[in-house]
Chain A
Amino acid sequence: MTARLEPGPEQPEGMLPSTVDRPAGERFGHAPTSPLPPESAPLLRWIDARLPVISAFRREYVDYPMPRNLNGLWNFGAFVTVALLVLLLSGIFLAVNYTATIADAFNSVEAIDRQVPSGWLVRSIHMGGVTMFFAALYIHVWRSLYYGSYKAPRELLWLTGMVLMAICMGAAFAGYVLPWGQMSFWGLTVAMRALSSVPLVGTPLAHWLLGGALADVALHRIYVLHFVLAFSTLAVVGLHVMALHVTGSNNPLGVEVRKPADTLPFHPYYTVKDGVGLALFALVFAVLIFFLPGWLTLPDNYLRADPLSTPADITPEWYFAPFYAILRAGGGIGVPLAALSIAVLFVLPWLDRSPVRSARFRPWYRVLLPVAVLSFVFLGVAGFHQPAGLWLLSSRIATAIWLLFFLLGLPLLTRFEPRRALPEGIA
């Protein structure tokens, strides 16, 4: 026998509470910061009372307070987001025409380029999108470094961003294998050799990932990996943006927003600023894919993969070139050094404990950071040259500068760097 539930005094049986159509926030004890204006359509108010997505959107993307002094470098987060969406969308159209077998992968990509209507354009957008994505991403990271956007309270914002970068590198590498050209095949071979050289876990991991040999099984897994990694970024981008909207944006002065006069609402001020930036970003993108298509891939990748013919030089895509240079300059410890060169970024908020964020008020950091970043850019150039003679020596020096800046330089700066006086506020 079941006990009959007694209706509560405020809710007579068979009647809905009288507050049902009030805004969701009121019923749950806290009002949304951006309730719908009274003149909004009844349907919108009906929806928002049940699923407050509209007031949430207004709170996060219309009325959201932004520091008023952001410079153009703060556009690059929007660029990265848009480039990612372009990649996901164009990737779906490529995927429906792609065949993940050793026998047909190259043919299906050639068919996309030649016979599928507008396939050449979609593929160019996808290939150019990767370059635009990583270019914008690296500038976005540079901005975070220069203005100290990784410091408290933004450590998790920084970490979600680093996780995103790592995922995208994995997705980009897997994607470059798919056309099964010469560089796809030999790039994969180099990466698998590097992975297998890791003690204990390396060889089992390579076997687990690729099923032993570079055959249909391996290509199929890489295809699945490309898709899974690419679409999993959506969830991490969500976390990244949530973390951003909890702490708010950093700004070129690196001091916190203190009063409403320090801020401007996201819309229309930063929507229109992002609009100008995105139009220029799209312009560069268009110049790249319509007039410089030769920059998007290496000619050797238009040769079908041939395990019997090793290319004269196996070169990576430009966005992996710095890591490839570290890999080759490191000799026997190349793999751990390349891994370390990324790992130092993950622990950056704990290596640099200086309370000052912006490089504008850190006289030594302002000089040493560009030196380290230029070393990294130099490694990108060195990645396209044979590791011998001067290139090898200078690659080793640049690797040392990059790693020592993080592991030794930042902890020392934390203790000894003089600080310039910080401004009171940003307005």
Chain B
Amino acid sequence: MRRAALAVLATIVLPGPLRAEDGGLASVQRGYAVYAQVCSACHSMRSVTYADLSGIGLTPAQVRAVASAVSVPDGMGPNNKPKRRPGRPDDHLPIPFATPEAAARANNGAVPPDMSRLALTLAGGPAEIEAILNGYADPPPGVSVPPGSYYNRAAPGGVIAMPPPLQDGAVTFAGGQTETVPQMAADVAAFLDWAARPHHAERTRIGVGVVLYLGFLAALLFFLKRRIWINAKQRR
């Protein structure tokens, strides 16, 4: 129930097709919608908070709206009944299963990995995530797929425990438009790449300034050093 509410709200508050210069962020934002409506049913992103979503271009008001659509546990109320409250920006993204055991029970024994750093810890990075989402197909003749598993071209060994998560039109975006599986796969891979390296853009931007500054400083010091060492020859 709360996941559905979150998904609906996410699609309402997320800006629609963005301006061309924000093309990268638009894909990441659509990727968040795919995560919120599909992936988050089984996968946690326990390191990420709603406030972190300002990194994909959400305004503070949008962050508050997305967070408050979720109901989070809030200790015990009177009569020892668990209390809930609307989410706040500093809350972490919801965890779908209470324990790893519950997660395994609900998923044929395989625990869906946390996705906070998935694009970093998978050997193939975001490209592998995209390939797996696009890799579902009917098994070729001669390949037997054990029950509870699915054939996937991109998975190691051709078999994966995750059922095909995406169908064309499964996710509704702001403005009501839908997307194809390859488009959604690219978007969610972009979102998970952001989540795994959330400061990549800022890191590069600051780095250019720091390197220019230090390069200039090194050049000035080099000329200063040459001038000072001219005197060394006269000190003999």
Contact = CB atoms under 8 A, between A and B. Distances in A.
A290 B210 contact: yes
The range of chain B's interface size is 35 or more
A291 interface: yes
Nearest to A303: B121
B32 to A, nearest CB: 15
A289 B214 CA distance: 14
A279 B235 contact: no
B52 A299 contact: no
A197 to B, nearest CB: 31
A120 interface: yes
A28 to B, nearest CB: 32
Interface in A276-293: 276, 279-280, 282-283, 286-287, 289-291, 293
B217 A279 contact: yes
Contacts of A111: 47
B49 interface: yes
A282 B216 CA distance: 12
B47 A110 contact: yes
B116 A291 contact: no
Q: B interface, by DSSP: helix, strand, loop or mixed?
A: helix
Interface in B140-192: none
A46 to B, nearest CB: 32
A7 B96 CA distance: 86
The range of chain A's interface size is 20 to 34
Nearest to A264: B232
Nearest to B47: A110
Interface in B186-236: 196-199, 203-204, 206-208, 210-211, 214-215, 217-218, 221-222, 224-225, 228-229, 232, 235-236
Given A115-B51, A302-B117, A303-B121, A276 B214 contact: no
B235 A110 contact: no
Nearest to B203: A290
A300 B123 CA distance: 10
Contacts of B114: 304
Contacts of A124: 203
A261 interface: yes
A170 interface: no
A279 to B, nearest CB: 4
B120 interface: yes
A343 interface: no
B120 A261 contact: no
Contacts of A279: 214, 217-218, 221
Given A114-B198, A293-B203, A283 B121 contact: no
14 contacts: A110-B47, A115-B52, A120-B198, A120-B199, A124-B203, A268-B228, A273-B229, A279-B214, A279-B217, A289-B207, A290-B210, A291-B204, A291-B207, A293-B203
Interface of B: 46-49, 51-52, 90, 114, 116-117, 120-121, 196-199, 203-204, 206-208, 210-211, 214-215, 217-218, 221-222, 224-225, 228-229, 232, 235-236
Given A111-B47, A269-B232, A272-B229, 13 more contacts: A115-B52, A115-B90, A120-B198, A264-B235, A269-B228, A276-B222, A279-B214, A282-B214, A286-B207, A286-B210, A291-B204, A303-B117, A427-B236
